[in-house]
Structure formats: C-alpha cells, structure tokens
A and B are shown apart, each in its own frame.
Chain A
Amino acid sequence: MGLSIEGGCLCGAVRYRATAPPVSRSICHCRSCRRASGAPSVAWSTFHVNNLVFTRGMPVRFRSSPEVMRTFCGVCGTQLSYRHDEDVDSIDITTATLDAPEQFPPTKEIWIEHKLPWERANEAMRHYPRTSTG
C-alpha cells in the first residue's frame, strides 16, 4: 500500500489525496496570500502535480494575477491551492487543510518584504525577501 496524505476544506465538499510527500514546505507572507486567507501568513506544501488528485468535489478557480491560479471551496470558501503558470509541475496546497498539518512543518519563510510588523518570523527557518528561487 502506497503513501497517502489527505486533506480537504472545512465543510468536506472538496477532498484531495497526495501519493508522495511534498517536495517543499514554506510560509508565505505576501500580500495576496494574506488577502486571500484573511490570515497574517499562509503555509504551503508543494506537491508534484502528478501526485495530487481531488477525490471529492472540485474547487472553484480564481486567477489572482495573470500567471497565478488559486482555488477554493465554493460551498465554505476554504482556500485550497495555488499554481503558477511557469511552474507546470507543481501544485501548492494550503498546509492547514491537510488532515495532519503537524506532520508537515515549513522549512522556510518567503516574501518577508511583505510581512506584517507585528508578526515575528521564526528564527529557525530560512528567510527570503521574496521568493526562494529568484
């Protein structure tokens, strides 16, 4: 039996399953993630797109910038995923919608430039002013 990592939205209308561990894990402080989530920052787990399937319902898509597609549950509004057009192999899943988020601690914090002044970064993680790739 293979690995199975599951998660979904608050109301349960949308569920997903990953068949391999995330390839990276981060906390994003950017303004768009903050606005979409309503929270000071968002934790993301990045999966290879071939290893992630929606097993119940389908999320609603919203193109939040010309190259970015975010999805959410149309029933309860839970933020679920993020994809960037230039990174065709990856899908980011909100770590907090995993059924066992404690098993997927972030290792880095990105977009520190946009961080709220009263939110303290975790000194144990790597920090990047913007993305961790450029």
Chain B
Amino acid sequence: MPDPSIFEGGCLCGEVRYRATAEPLRGVICHCGMCRRHSGAPALAFVHFPLDAFQWLGTMPSWFQSSANAARGFCSRCGSTLGMREDVLADRVQICVGSLDEPSRVRIDDHVWTRSRVQWFDTRDGLPRFERSSTAVASLAERGE
C-alpha cells in the first residue's frame, strides 16, 4: 500500500527528480499568459508543497527568472517544465502537475487568471474561477500577461 503522503515526480528524461512527504497545500489551474507560454500548453496546473516537506533529488532544475518576484524551473537537458517559486509564497514550491508520477492522485481546487484564458480552452468543470489570482493566495508576481 503506497504511503498517501508521499508524492514523487520529475522531468521527461529523468535527470531531475523530486519527492514530497506531505500532501499538497493546494492545487490550481493557471490560465495566465506566462504559464501558457512557458509550458507551451493552453493552461498549466500546479500543486503547492510545503518547502520543509519537499526535496529535489539528483540534478537540480534550472531556474529562469520570469519576473521580479518569480522564477520558473525546468530541466536543462530535456526542457520539461517543472515548477515555480514566488517571493510571496516563500514557504512552498509550486510543482507542475504534469511532472508528477501519479498526477491523478492530486486535487485541483480552482482556476486562476481566467481573464487571460485562451478562448478555445475550457476544462468545463465546476471548480471556482478567479479572474486574477485567487483570494486563497495573493500573488504579486505573474500579472497575467
């Protein structure tokens, strides 16, 4: 029986791996223009793990400073989009759901930056939607476009 509080993942080539030993604090689908451009996908999904329950294994990701307050992680060998760090959320790391070994295990709570949503992409679920960042977590960093 797998431990329900252990989550592992990594990039497509396997060079960067990580392990979290706590359940995610939050799951979110972001429709902002920067997440879209960086991932190459219509929307990007993240789960937030507490920093003290998270560790990178093997090679560290490369970090690209995408704005004054945020950096985006990727594997320098295969380019996989891995996560994000924001100054306003310094207690956690935001991990891209697609990099998890078992992405179907995590819960998504809401959608953010829906005012930037590309019109033809809609996941048609009943989750709360926020035009900008959610009221649950204020974001200074990525202002949508």
Q: A residues touching B (Cβ–Cβ < 8 Å)?
A: 9-11, 27, 32, 34-43, 60, 62, 64, 70-80, 94-97, 101-102, 105-106, 116-120, 122
Contact = CB atoms under 8 A, between A and B. Distances in A.
Interface residues of B, number: 45
Contact of B37 (A10, A35, A72, A105): A10
A62 B40 contact: no
A55 B29 CA distance: 32
B80 A96 contact: no
B123 A77 contact: no
A126 to B, nearest CB: 14
Contacts of B38: 9-10, 76-78
B103 interface: yes
B42 A95 contact: yes
Given A10-B38, A76-B74, A118-B108, A39 B103 contact: no
B93 interface: no
B133 interface: no
Contacts of A119: 123
Contacts of B121: 27, 43
Contacts of B103: 34, 40, 116
B124 A79 contact: no
B45 A77 contact: no
Interface in B27-62: 29, 34, 36-45, 62
A38 B37 contact: no
Given A76-B74, A77-B74, A38 B13 contact: no
Contact of A118 (B11, B75, B78, B125): B125
Contact of A10 (B11, B34, B73, B78): B34
A46 to B, nearest CB: 14
B82 interface: yes
Nearest to A81: B40
B114 interface: no
Contact of A78 (B37, B99, B122): B37
